[in-house]
Amino acid sequence: MTGEPHMLDEGTPLFLQIAVQLSDDIADGTLPEGERVPSSNEFAAFHRINPATAAKGINVLIDEGLLEKRRGIGMFVAAGAHERLRSERRLRFAQQYIEPMLAEGRRLGMDTDAMVSMLRAASQGNGEVRQ
């Protein structure tokens, strides 16, 4: 929670935005396992929101087993949270992007090698994605 507050999205409940922010920080390693996370009061002050709202977001991750309470000390990233989040997100990525892409490629008569070639070209950033 350094720098300026994240832009809050008016379409998503604030407590979910807090939960997503924390889970993103755990997934990308910004918040490593065993690290103390900001308290609900710290989140509330940082984002200028109600502490109960911040606590609700933190509790979502406690309920999911990604954060753990240490009585009198605070909230900490749970052991295994980083890899669990990454695994879940990889699966979701495959379901949301890879599987539909493969299905569309097959509809277009492309084989796996052709799709892999397109991905490689796109990832090299040369702006040329060929058939």
Residues 38-65 have pLDDT tens digits of 999 998 998 888 999 999 999 999 999 9
The pLDDT-based confidence of 5 (bands split at 50, 70, 90) is very low
Residues 61-110 have pLDDT tens digits of 999 999 999 998 999 999 999 999 999 999 999 999 999 999 999 999 99
Q: Is 63 exposed, middle or buried (0-12, 13-18, 19+ CB in 10 A)?
A: exposed
Q: Global pTM?
A: 0.76
What is the rounded CA–CA span in Å between residue 87 and residue 83? Answer: 6
pLDDT (0 to 100) of residue 11:
82
Q: What is the mean pLDDT of residues 4-32?
A: 83
- Three-point CA angle 63, 67, 73, nearest 5°: 120
Sequence-ordered list of residues with C-beta below 8 angstroms from that of 123, at least 6 positions apart, any chain: none
Q: Which CATH architecture has domain 14-79?
A: Orthogonal Bundle (1.10)
Q: What is the mean pLDDT of residues 106-117?
A: 94
The pLDDT-based confidence of 30 (bands split at 50, 70, 90) is very high
